[in-house]
Amino acid sequence: PARFFDTKTTEPISFFLSGLEELLAWQPDTNDEFNVSAVPLAKRQPPLHSQRPRTLVCHDMRGGYIEDRFIQGSATRNPYVFYHWRYIDIFVYFSHHTVTIPPVCWTNAAHRNGVPVLGTFITEWTEGEKLCEAFLAGGEEAYGAVSEQLARIAQHYRFDGWLVNIENKLSAAAVRNLPPFLRQLTAQVHSAVPGGLVIWYDSVLQNGTLTWQNELNEENRVFFDACDGLFTNYNWKKEHLERTRELAGSRRTDVYVGVDVFARGDVIGGGFDTDKSLSLIRQYGLSAAIFAPGWVYEHLGEENFLQNENRFWGLLAAYLPTHSICTLPLATSFSLGMGTSRFLDGKEEEAGPWYDLSAQEIQPLYPELEGRLSTSCCLQDAWCGGSSLRVQGTIPPGEEHVAIRLFSLQMPAPSKLFLTLLYKLEGLNPEELTVGLELTTWDSGTCYEGNVTSLPEPNGRHHPRFLPAPPPGLARLLAACNRGSHGWTSRCYELELQGCSLRDLSLLVSRHQPSAQETPFTCLLGEVRVLDTANVGATPPEVQSVTASQLWWQ
């Protein structure tokens, strides 16, 4: 069927639903399996419901369902990708179709990085009025059927809830049923989807008129009270934020103040000045909703996209609390889910562009220090997938080494860890430098490296012991401890800890000789793994009951 498969290529595609009839007629279908997310939502710290201000990203690009609709990827050159997952809390996929089901590749990439994904339920213009009249003015049975279908769809495709956007005026009967509809939808999403969310967009007022408020106030509060949050319109000033904070009270982090990166209308700042808006929002302890950050790609062009993207998020980093990984194993080859070639074991396997966000791996923090340090994606060389992580910087005069924070961690340390690292030093002086890993632990009187007789490390900095060969029993898993290939160097390490809590994983670049000069370096990271020794020896379960159906030979 054309809804599930591209008519030109027969490839499976992601899709939306148009209108009330399609929504009410929706049933799980055997052709659906491609569209069901295969990646459970990874745990992270702090959890979404903590009291600190959150960051929501609302992705709206060229009507949606472009190259990202191809579930098994496409040969797209210079595609749009998002990878600053550590800095955000919620990802919304937005389009102007009635029911926007997020393309499954976005759900997979976001979930792997611990970020929940919302679809969009939107009604607008005169068509929207008719649609709302049909299901809201129709009473409990009519709106109950809609809320039940929306909850079932989120549960079936394994995404995490809805942004509800009613952008048309409503009759008295329809607006009367809107709060109970929202309450019912929110309750059903919560019970169908663990950690599910329903967020309301600031549009219609409690009297049914369509007037954007740019704040939480008595006119739209009834909708905020009926669901998990409010996403405000974009034309706010300081006084809107003051009134919003006042009225929201203990729920102030459930208000997501809208920031349009395209800076349409009378706004504080967009584009590379988006930080001005965020700085104000955070002064009031409110959450932020960054709308259309694809501006970087659409407005500045595809050619230098990755460079511009790092600049855009780097400018916002001070206002975006980051998230920590809280489970092991942690393993990544840093692939963005795109590339100009595909690599395996450091060797180019296949040249040519590709794009598949489902293949995006766990993404690190992207630390930037003006003139001193930059982290970016390298598409020209990789260990596995489409890209490696390029870390460029300088060791300052008089310093022996520099530590580049890759991941923030928050979990009790197992008693023994294995770590593996694949890297390649570029530049003029690779023989003068050593590359390794550093783990830091949270300050605590009970934390020891090795055994209790050893002294606690100053500042909780631990440098895992280099292993020239993998320990017996792990030879297959850690095959390449001392041999790289194609110019890549492979290293294995172990670290024994007692009573510790992990804090950061950093790359450590050291020079052999102290120097009064600064030493520049460029290092490509191909893969990093942090493994709990107790769990790595177990054999993975065998795959069973494999079936193949709908075969089409070409």
Residue ending a domain, among 321, 350, 371, is: 321
Residue ending a domain, among 321, 341, 375, is: 321
Q: Are residues 293 and 426 in the same domain?
A: no
Relative to beta strand 197-201, strand 229-231 is parallel
Euclidean distance between CA atoms 71 and 69, whole angstroms: 6
Q: Are residues 275 and 347 in the same domain?
A: no
Residue 355, domain extent: 330-532
Q: Domain for residue 225, yes or no?
A: yes
pLDDT at 505: 96
* The two three-digit tokens of residue 222, written as one number: 């009834």
| CA distance from start to end of the chain | 19
Q: What backbone torsions phi and psi does residue 16 show, to the nearest 5 degrees?
A: -120, 175
Instruction: Using the structure block, give the residue that is written with the tokens 């593996």.
Output: 420
Q: Domain for residue 554, yes or no?
A: no
Q: Are residues 102 and 207 in the same domain?
A: yes
DSSP string, 71-115: TT-B--SS------GGG-SEEEE--SSSEEPPPHHHHHHHHHTT-
* The two three-digit tokens of residue 79, written as one number: 């595609």
The answer to whether 343 and 383 are in contact (CB under 8 A) is yes
pLDDT at 213: 98
Q: Are residues 182 and 248 in the same domain?
A: yes
Q: Domain for residue 460, yes or no?
A: yes
The answer to whether 95 and 101 are in contact (CB under 8 A) is no
The answer to whether 344 and 486 are in contact (CB under 8 A) is no
Q: Domain for residue 369, yes or no?
A: yes
The answer to whether 470 and 480 are in contact (CB under 8 A) is no
Q: Are residues 295 and 334 in the same domain?
A: no
Cis peptide leading into 367, omega within 30 of 0? no
The answer to whether 93 and 60 are in contact (CB under 8 A) is no
Q: What backbone torsions phi and psi does residue 126 show, to the nearest 5 degrees?
A: -70, -35
pLDDT at 367: 87
pLDDT at 429: 73
Euclidean distance between CA atoms 280 and 278, whole angstroms: 5
With a CB cutoff of 8 Å and minimum separation 6, the contacts of 69 are 13, 14, 15, 103
State pTM to two decimals: 0.96
Q: Are residues 367 and 223 in the same domain?
A: no
- Amino acid letter for position 328: L
Q: Return averaged pLDDT per consecutive 10 residues of the chain, 554 residues in all.
A: 88 96 95 93 95 97 96 96 98 98 98 98 97 95 98 98 98 97 98 97 97 98 98 97 98 98 93 97 98 97 95 96 95 97 94 98 91 92 96 93 95 93 85 92 78 55 83 66 78 91 95 89 96 81 87 72
Q: Are residues 179 and 156 in the same domain?
A: yes
From the CB of residue 326, how many other CB atoms can be counted at a distance below 10 Å? Answer: 18
> What is the tens place of the pLDDT at every residue in 405-446?
999 999 999 999 999 999 999 876 778 899 999 999 987 777
The answer to whether 494 and 417 are in contact (CB under 8 A) is yes
Q: Are residues 293 and 336 in the same domain?
A: no
Euclidean distance between CA atoms 112 and 374, whole angstroms: 24
- Give the single-character DSSP code of 363: -
> What is the tens place of the pLDDT at every residue in 459-485?
688 888 888 777 776 766 666 565 668
CA 207 vs CA 126, 169, 172, 189, 552: distances in Å:
18, 9, 7, 26, 55
The answer to whether 317 and 309 are in contact (CB under 8 A) is no
Q: Domain for residue 552, yes or no?
A: no
Q: Domain holding 80: CATH number?
A: 3.20.20.80
Cis peptide leading into 46, omega within 30 of 0? yes
Reduced 3-state DSSP string for 456-492: CCHHHEECCEEECCCCCCCCCCCCCCCCCCCCCEEEE
Q: Domain holding 351: CATH number?
A: 2.60.120.260
Domain count, the chain: 2
DSSP string, 256-292: EEEEETT--SS-S--GGGHHHHHHHHHHTT-EEEEE-
Euclidean distance between CA atoms 275 and 280, whole angstroms: 9
Q: Domain for residue 546, yes or no?
A: no
Find the angle CA(58)-CA(59)-CA(62) to the nearest 5 degrees.
Answer: 140
pLDDT at 514: 84
Q: Are residues 282 and 378 in the same domain?
A: no
Q: Are residues 103 and 206 in the same domain?
A: yes
Using alpha carbons, select from 61, 183, 188, 42 the residue that is nearest to residue 116.
42
CA 167 vs CA 211, 289, 335: distances in Å:
9, 18, 38
Instruction: Please report how many Cα atoms fall inside a 13 Å half-sphere around the Cα of residue 268, on the Cβ side.
Output: 20
DSSP string, 127-193: HHHHHHHHHTTT-HHHHHHHHHHHHHHHHHHT--EEEEEEES---HHHHHHHHHHHHHHHHHHHHHS
pLDDT at 427: 78
Euclidean distance between CA atoms 462 and 3, whole angstroms: 54
DSSP string, 321-342: ---EE-SS-EEE----SEEEEE
Using alpha carbons, select from 146, 62, 200, 114 the residue that is nearest to residue 407.
114
Q: Domain for residue 297, yes or no?
A: yes
pLDDT at 515: 87
Euclidean distance between CA atoms 159 and 37, whole angstroms: 7
pLDDT at 2: 84
Q: Say how far residue 249 (Cα) sits from the centre of its chain.
A: 28
Residue ending a domain, among 288, 321, 354, is: 321
From the CB of residue 331, how many other CB atoms can be counted at a distance below 10 Å? Answer: 13
Q: Are residues 367 and 456 in the same domain?
A: yes
Relative to beta strand 338-344, strand 347-355 is antiparallel
Residue 126 parent element (H or E): helix 125-135
Q: Are residues 64 and 170 in the same domain?
A: yes
